[in-house]
Homo-oligomer: A and B are copies of this chain.
Amino acid sequence: MRVGDLGEFGAVGRISGRLPQGAAVLLGPGDDAAMIDAPDGRVVVSTDLLIEGRHFRRDWSSGYDVGRKAAAQNLADVAAMGAVPTCLVVGLGMPADLPVTWLDALTDGFRDECAEVGASVAGGDVTGCDLVVLGVTALGDLGGGAPVTRSGARPGQVVAVAGRLGHAAAGLALLQAGRQEDAAAWEGTALGEAVAAHRRPRPPYPCGPEAARLGAGAMLDVSDGLLQDLGHVAKASGVRIELDPAAFAVGEPVAAAAKELGADPLDWVLTGGEDHALAATFPPDVVLPPSWQVVGRVVAGEGVYVPGRSSVRGGWDHFK
Interface size, A (range): 35 or more
Please, which residue of chain B has its CB at the minimum distance from the CB of A55? B127
Could you list 11 further interchain pairs (A-B, Cβ under 8 angstroms) beyond the known A32-B80, A35-B81, A128-B319?
A: A26-B42, A30-B149, A30-B150, A32-B150, A32-B220, A33-B46, A35-B142, A36-B44, A49-B135, A54-B127, A55-B127
B46 and A43 contact, CB distance less than 8 A: no
Query: Contacts A46-B34, A81-B33 known; A318 to B127 CB distance under 8 Å?
Result: yes
A44 and B54 contact, CB distance less than 8 A: no
Please, which residue of chain B has its CB at the minimum distance from the CB of A316? B8
Please, which residue of chain B has its CB at the minimum distance from the CB of A224? B8
* Contacting residues, chain B, for A135 (C-beta < 8 A): 47, 49, 91, 133-137
B137 and A31 contact, CB distance less than 8 A: no
* Contacting residues, chain B, for A139 (C-beta < 8 A): 43, 45
Give a binary string over A118-152; 1 marks a CB under 8 Å from any B CB, 0 the rest: 00001111111100011111111010000101110
A45 and B36 contact, CB distance less than 8 A: yes
* Contacting residues, chain B, for A43 (C-beta < 8 A): 35-36, 38, 43, 139
Query: Contacts A45-B137, A49-B133, A54-B127 known; A149 to B320 CB distance under 8 Å?
Result: no
> Nearest-CB distance from A21 to chain B (Å)?
13
- The count of identical subunits is 2
- Select one of B39, B46, B134, B319 contacting A96, CB under 8 A: B319
Query: Contacts A45-B87, A46-B123, A123-B45 known; A32 to B81 CB distance under 8 Å?
Result: yes
B49 and A83 contact, CB distance less than 8 A: no
Q: In the complex, what distance in Å separates the CA atom of A26 from the CA atom of B4?
A: 42
* Contacting residues, chain B, for A36 (C-beta < 8 A): 42-45
Give a binary string over A62-106; 1 marks a CB under 8 Å from any B CB, 0 the rest: 000000000000001110110100010111110010000000000
* Contacting residues, chain B, for A96 (C-beta < 8 A): 319
Query: Contacts A35-B147, A133-B133, A317-B8 known; A45 to B89 CB distance under 8 Å?
Result: yes
Q: In the complex, what distance in Å separates the CA atom of A44 from the CA atom of B220?
A: 26
A47 and B123 contact, CB distance less than 8 A: yes
